[in-house]
Structure 1
Amino acid sequence: MGRFVALAFLFMTVKGPIQAQHVPLGSWETYFSYLSAKHVVQVNDHIFCSTYNGLFSVNLADKKIRIWSKSDGLSENGVSSMAYNSEDSLLFVAYRSGFIDLVYLDKNAEPKEIIPWPVLQNAAGLPDNKEVRQVTFHQELAYLSTTFGIIVLDTELRQVEETYRYIGSNGSEAAVSNIAFSDDSIYAVTSNGVLAASMQPAVNRQYFANWKPVGTPANAVAICQFNNKIYAGFPGKGIYERASGAWNKVYSSESKRYSIRKHEKSLIVALDDKILTIDENNNATITNNTLIQSPAEALQTADGTLWIADYKNGLIRNSGPDFTSFVPEQKDTIISPRPDSVIMDYNGISWARLPDYLGGGILVENKENNKQRVLSASVGNGSLPSSSIRSLALDQDGYVWFASDKGVGYFMTDDILNTSRADAVLPVYGQRRLFANEKCTAIAVEPGNRKWIGTTNGLYLFSADGTELIRQFTAADSPLPSDHINALRFDPENGIVFIDTPNGMVSYRSNASASAENLSAVTIFPNPVRPGFAGLVGIKGLLDKSIVKITELSGRLIYETASQGGTASWNLNDYTGRRARGGIYMVFIVSNDGSEKFAGKLAVIE
């Protein structure tokens, strides 16, 4: 009866489910620059564009932009080449590392399946540089132009068909930039000039002697088949066509760069600062505009619209006289200025990391009385594991934490300028000093006092005292674009940690945020939880270390936790690890001192 009365009272004080939109806990977001566009392909009614470290698509109907990233299932970010095979609805994505994703798309250009394919990584004897320069589909096979030759792949069987690696002079290795097919031959632009080989089944194309040099006016940089002829671009000379064994100039140009693509009835050529269209009669039309500054690649849709990937201005659309730039909304792409170079402790004392060229260490200074000291690796005067300090942060207990080239640690700040001896506290994890002899590059503190630590080998989240590992991320198992962390910044209001790397910046929504003053604005999200949801339920607007209990309507407790700052989370599992069934659940919250209480409902839909 007692439990029934208590439950009835709580039902009368319930605030009801809050349905405000929030960034889901555990979610990632990218902050890449999409201006350095490199490749563009058409997939049905969508245009896909890759940049130095990003990929996005544009819906031709409504012009909406969709960003693609590792959060969508892609393996990496740095796309080196891509091509679309309409027969299989396959977007072939190759990364700078040589890793490949086979992205199968539906008619709306949404992913049906993404198959990671480390075929080049798993192949023995390949060089470290496995970057794919161009992907060309021919008779259902994918031909990869690489720095070490041509790799022929069967994407359906996911196997290597052939490798044309040692096709240079006297069987030397030849780097290939792109290829083209004409009649029964394959043409390749290589470091040994243009080479050609017969595509007849009886010809062994893995034998270098079957690749014949093709005489050219100069060193070609691009090649394409059009109108039953081979066209090539020559720096400083222009576009030539090959007919009856001879090269004839089609268009004269001083351009140093050429990218040639075949359309139904024309060739689309990207030059240094303009787009060239060549029709079946070799009539040339120039398209230029102030937006077209450094075109990398271009295509033409059926209605005559040009889509241009530009190294400086992103994706550009040209329809008639109109030129429009299509790039995702640009946000801050780096952490600047860094918040961890100079900090102030709760006593008003300044702590600054000194650069290595000044000897390193930490300068501690009271600017009111000009009292100062430099903490170093010397015992009694810092005992730093390394004088190379990369980051400083003040935690909730008033301790100053540091990240150094040989691990992390912290100082108790009271009387730091008045005591003769000051030694860093070096946390111990797993029976050894935390990150001993490992380069730590950044540190940030959550409102719940947990520590985010960036290294050259990934990102880590540790407990307040650094003795318990809570979470670890690397580029291999998360949307991190690189294992090398440059800088960290934590947004306490929204519970987001920003992560700056050499390959771009991303953010992660933590399950910690700034503590609220009371429980008047508690938010439960998502609410309701819909079928297929695989994330965390967030409960925000709490006081630090609030107790959160989740029960069935019967009053049976199935989960209990304490908030990290102003946020708590639930993975939708009960104490036994079983997934919560569909229904209504009660969420009871009590502040750490018992002065504040809240009750709410959470709906789980099966």
Structure 2
Amino acid sequence: MPLRLLFLYCLALVMPALVRSQVQAPPIGNWRDHLPYHQTVQVAGTAEKIWCATPWSIFSIDIADNNIDRYSKVNGLSEAGISAMGLQETGDKLVIGYNNSRVDVLADKVVHTIDEIKNSPVTGDKTIHHIFLAGQQAYLSTGIGIVVINLEKYEVKDTYVIGSTGSKIGVHALTSDGAFFYAATAEGLKKAPVNGNNLADFRSWQNLSGTNGLTTGPVTAVTVFQNNLVVLKNDSLFTSLNGQWNFLYANEWTIRNITISDNKLLVSEQLNTTGRVIALSPQGAVNEIIQHPVFTKEVRQAIYTAGHYWIADSLSGLSQYAAGRFESFIPNSPYSIATGLLQVFNNTLWAGAGAVTPNWEPVQNKDGLYAFTLDNWTNLNKTTLALMDSFPDIVSIAADPAEEGVWAGSFGGGLLHIKPDRSVQTYKQNSPLQPAYFAPGSYRVSGLAFDGESNLWIANYGANQSIAVRKKDGSWRSFFIPYSIPENAVGQIVVDDVNQKWIVAPNGNGLFCFNHGQTIDNPGDDLWKWYRAGKGNGNLPDNQVLSIARDKNGFIWVGTRRGIGIIQCPQEVFTTTGCEAVLPVVQQDNFAGYLFSGEQVQCIAVDGADRKWIGTQNGAWLISADGAKTITRFTASNSPLLSDDVRQIAIDGNSGEVFFATDKGICSFRGTATEGNTSNTNVLAFPNPVPPGYTGTIAIRGVANNAIVKIAELDGRLVFQTRALGGQAIWNGKDYKGRTISTGVYLVLVSDDNKQEKTVTKIVFIKK
């Protein structure tokens, strides 16, 4: 068949599937980031392109068409924690400094990573505070001095340690007037000739502070404005004229940043909860004030180019201002990072932004709750919903499978019910919830879960009756835990297959199992068991329980400070035989040990193939269903994972996408397993047709749970066979001998539990 005719035939075969799929997740095995872009800290640019930094990533805007490109660890940058950024005047090279002292140089969309500062044996604070570029040199102001980078060779050229007597001192910023370098340091303003013979010698640097009108003490910023130096010292600006220092500008506002841009001196200021940008004349007169209740809440930096101001604000993102009009440029994203619970429900990821301290105290995070659906983020916080200001630290989430609403728990603000129509109901004062007995007015909801009868179970941390339930009919009951534990501390809740509640007891108090008996309303038949470390006490690996999950066998997986225990007989907890946790022993290299022994198991998630995703402080792991085998491990060094500190994991069972909430933001990985059904449902193969040169993974989604999937030619000759991972089978496009298959149409045959085989779809291959 001619290639053109074959291609048209391919389209006819898969067009209904293409319309039906609308898959938003990345291809299998690929990553994407979900980093915040509402908190911008630095901006630079030319008349053609604007660059903006957040604490986690970079984005750019082409001024001609307003097209936005994102740059993160997922698509090329080497890190996720950004401390400084510098741009060449030509706009050709962008230099990015990270919190761990690594440096990236982005040139023509290629990233060159420089690790010399990070890996240097030199001790001290190597934080990069400021980047000044001159020609093909980048001058990095750090906590130990000035580091010079050659932007042609992408290597460190020199280091200037300029403290008195050669000591390391913090350098906050550097600039040059062409003849001299000027460094704003903890010891004052220092000066050295650009063409000096040995700038690494501290004696080449003259301290200007304490002479000619500039007082002694730290200088935090320095720049050159219309051939005169301007320095920032104690929230006042001073300028040098004919060698004498004179006061230039100050008022009651705190100065955050000074920038010279298109011959304007722009000062970013803050007063309480209000920010603004002012443009100063060389004499210190205020030529223009740019202020807005939304767009200049906490201004970090501003520039002026091509007739527009660009303002980086740490609360309101990046905005453009001209002629009295503001325009926001914020890539769609969550408002901030998420450290509370993650949950996927009906193809929507819900993420809580809140947190608690290691001792379970509130941190007063008011960033709210985020929802990710159809590739878009919706942020629920005080900016979009005023009442969210009284709901700090959202740490628990539960989706109602019957109503399809979502409930969120605040560690201090009570309970939030987001209905399907997005209307909101709250439970706090004058509700069945109780405040913490040691913190009146603080309503702490630390865990939520629905049982099989659509009752919502609530961990009411610190309350006298610390377990509550809102029944399906809307009535409430509360329960005492019959054990004495400090602060009546309760946390995450999981409901098992026999409707028992498993409740984490934070702060090293183990785990509870609660069975309410025949009816919720009769406390006389309630049963409780307390799980702790040690045989006879429940046999947990440790009393510090950090996470729990129920797998597809009904087993309860318990993550602790020292590994994992598995409760494999939850239905027997209250029988005469009882049920203690099993501590699996696994073989690792030549050694055998307990599963995740020595690891803090911070979160556990179960995918469609019953495999377990484990989050620790040393990365994320995928292990087999029984825990006996490690399938893969992701770390910040071997993958685009944003950080090794993985706080939460959630899985979209429909697409197989695995979401990781780390201390540096959310990222996701398209896994191989999806949730299976009892029969084939809307089977979809993708990509389909398989284009020329494609070497990625081919997925067949929607097949019966753990079905046998065969790929065959039209005459029935078997090409490949595999078993589905949950509801999805994967194939590398090769036959059973490892040969790439030829152009043509191939059948996908699925065998169900009854051994009945049927054709469910076709896959078309097009080779070059």
1:363 to partner: Cα distance: 3.1
Counterpart code for 2:564: V
Tell me if the contact between 1:484 and 1:501 (Cα under 8 Å) persists in the aligned partners.
yes
Q: Aligned match of 2:60 in 49, 54, 57?
A: 57
Equivalent residue, structure 2, for 1:262: 260
1:530-541 mapped onto 2 (5 Å cutoff): 530-531=691-692, 533=694, 535-541=696-702
1:91-170 mapped onto 2 (5 Å cutoff): 91-105=94-108, 111=109, 113-127=110-124, 129-165=125-161, 167-170=162-165
1:497-536 mapped onto 2 (5 Å cutoff): 497-531=658-692, 533=694, 535-536=696-697
1:300 to partner: Cα distance: 1.1
Q: Which moved more, 1:549-558 or 1:91-100?
A: 549-558
Q: Aligned match of 2:765 in 599, 603, 606?
A: 603
Counterpart code for 1:154: N
1:96-245 mapped onto 2 (5 Å cutoff): 96-105=99-108, 111=109, 113-127=110-124, 129-165=125-161, 167-201=162-196, 203-215=197-209, 216-217=214-215, 219-237=218-236, 239-245=237-243
Residues 1:376 and 2:532 are matched in the alignment:
yes
CA distance in 1, matches of 2:15, 2:714: 14
1:429-440 mapped onto 2 (5 Å cutoff): 429-430=586-587, 431-440=592-601
1:496 to partner: Cα distance: 2.5
1:476 to partner: Cα distance: 1.1
Task: Describe the shift of the 1:117–1:256 C-alpha distance in structure 2 as closer, same or farther (beyond 3 A).
Answer: same
CA distance in 1, matches of 2:505, 2:327: 47
Aligned residue for 1:440, secondary structure, equals coil
Tell me if the contact between 2:42 and 2:300 (Cα under 8 Å) persists in the aligned partners.
yes
Tell me if the contact between 2:88 and 2:135 (Cα under 8 Å) persists in the aligned partners.
no
Equivalent residue, structure 1, for 2:571: 414
Aligned residue for 2:565, secondary structure, equals strand
CA distance in 2, matches of 1:194, 1:43: 29
Equivalent residue, structure 2, for 1:292: 296
Residues 1:84 and 2:87 are matched in the alignment:
yes
Q: Aligned match of 1:278 in 276, 280, 287?
A: 280
Equivalent residue, structure 2, for 1:457: 618
Q: Deviations over 1:80-115 (max 9, x none)?
A: 11122255822212111111122112xxxxx2x222
1:550 to partner: Cα distance: 2.5
Q: How many pairs align?
A: 583
Tell me if the contact between 1:582 and 1:604 (Cα under 8 Å) persists in the aligned partners.
yes
1:42 to partner: Cα distance: 1.6
Equivalent residue, structure 2, for 1:348: 499
CA distance in 1, matches of 2:61, 2:584: 49
1:376 to partner: Cα distance: 1.5
CA distance in 1, matches of 2:652, 2:639: 20
CA distance in 2, matches of 1:451, 1:544: 17
Tell me if the contact between 1:131 and 1:146 (Cα under 8 Å) persists in the aligned partners.
yes
CA distance in 2, matches of 1:579, 1:209: 67
1:280 to partner: Cα distance: 6.0
CA distance in 2, matches of 1:577, 1:149: 56
CA distance in 2, matches of 1:298, 1:490: 40
CA distance in 1, matches of 2:742, 2:170: 58
Task: Output the aligned Cα RMSD.
Answer: 2.5
Tell me if the contact between 2:266 and 2:303 (Cα under 8 Å) persists in the aligned partners.
yes
Q: Which moved more, 1:523-532 or 1:187-196?
A: 523-532
Tell me if the contact between 1:381 and 1:422 (Cα under 8 Å) persists in the aligned partners.
no
Counterpart code for 2:246: N
Aligned residue for 2:17, secondary structure, equals coil
CA distance in 1, matches of 2:324, 2:734: 58
Tell me if the contact between 2:698 and 2:730 (Cα under 8 Å) persists in the aligned partners.
yes
Counterpart code for 1:550: I
1:447 to partner: Cα distance: 2.0
Q: Deviations over 1:172-227 (max 9, x none)?
A: 211111111014110000111111111124x3111111111113246432111122
Unmatched 5+ stretches in structure 2: 1-9, 342-351, 353-395, 399-446, 448-491, 520-524
Aligned residue for 1:274, secondary structure, equals strand
Counterpart code for 1:21: Q
What is the TM-score normalised by the length of structure 1? 0.90
CA distance in 1, matches of 2:740, 2:121: 44
Counterpart code for 2:616: T
Task: Describe the shift of the 1:223–1:34 C-alpha distance in structure 2 as closer, same or farther (beyond 3 A).
Answer: same
Aligned residue for 2:203, secondary structure, equals helix
Equivalent residue, structure 1, for 2:421: none
Q: Which moved more, 1:115-124 or 1:293-302?
A: 115-124
Task: Describe the shift of the 1:159–1:506 C-alpha distance in structure 2 as closer, same or farther (beyond 3 A).
Answer: closer
Equivalent residue, structure 2, for 1:386: 542
Q: Aligned match of 1:310 in 310, 313, 322?
A: 313
Aligned residue for 2:148, secondary structure, equals strand
CA distance in 2, matches of 1:361, 1:520: 39
1:4-19 mapped onto 2 (5 Å cutoff): 18-19=17-18
CA distance in 2, matches of 1:491, 1:413: 26
1:371 to partner: Cα distance: 1.0
1:152 to partner: Cα distance: 0.6
Task: Describe the shift of the 1:363–1:356 C-alpha distance in structure 2 as closer, same or farther (beyond 3 A).
Answer: farther
Counterpart code for 1:114: V
Equivalent residue, structure 1, for 2:22: 21
Q: Aligned match of 1:45 in 27, 45, 48?
A: 48
Q: Aligned match of 1:549 in 699, 710, 714?
A: 710
Aligned residue for 1:292, secondary structure, equals coil
Aligned residue for 2:572, secondary structure, equals coil
CA distance in 1, matches of 2:98, 2:766: 40
Tell me if the contact between 2:262 and 2:305 (Cα under 8 Å) persists in the aligned partners.
no
Tell me if the contact between 1:390 and 1:441 (Cα under 8 Å) persists in the aligned partners.
yes
Residues 1:33 and 2:36 are matched in the alignment:
yes
Tell me if the contact between 1:17 and 1:601 (Cα under 8 Å) persists in the aligned partners.
no
CA distance in 1, matches of 2:552, 2:122: 52
Residues 1:365 and 2:361 are matched in the alignment:
no
Task: Describe the shift of the 1:579–1:300 C-alpha distance in structure 2 as closer, same or farther (beyond 3 A).
Answer: farther
Equivalent residue, structure 2, for 1:6: none
Tell me if the contact between 1:274 and 1:293 (Cα under 8 Å) persists in the aligned partners.
yes
Aligned residue for 2:41, secondary structure, equals strand
1:275 to partner: Cα distance: 1.0
Aligned residue for 1:475, secondary structure, equals coil
Equivalent residue, structure 1, for 2:305: 301
CA distance in 2, matches of 1:254, 1:209: 37
CA distance in 2, matches of 1:249, 1:378: 70
1:278 to partner: Cα distance: 3.1
CA distance in 2, matches of 1:94, 1:583: 50
What is the TM-score normalised by the length of structure 2? 0.72
CA distance in 1, matches of 2:574, 2:330: 52
Counterpart code for 2:258: I
Tell me if the contact between 2:84 and 2:128 (Cα under 8 Å) persists in the aligned partners.
yes
Counterpart code for 1:278: L
Task: Describe the shift of the 1:139–1:507 C-alpha distance in structure 2 as closer, same or farther (beyond 3 A).
Answer: closer
Aligned residue for 2:254, secondary structure, equals coil
CA distance in 2, matches of 1:71, 1:497: 14
Tell me if the contact between 1:222 and 1:258 (Cα under 8 Å) persists in the aligned partners.
no
1:458 to partner: Cα distance: 0.8
Equivalent residue, structure 2, for 1:5: none
1:331 to partner: Cα distance: 3.4
CA distance in 2, matches of 1:236, 1:48: 27
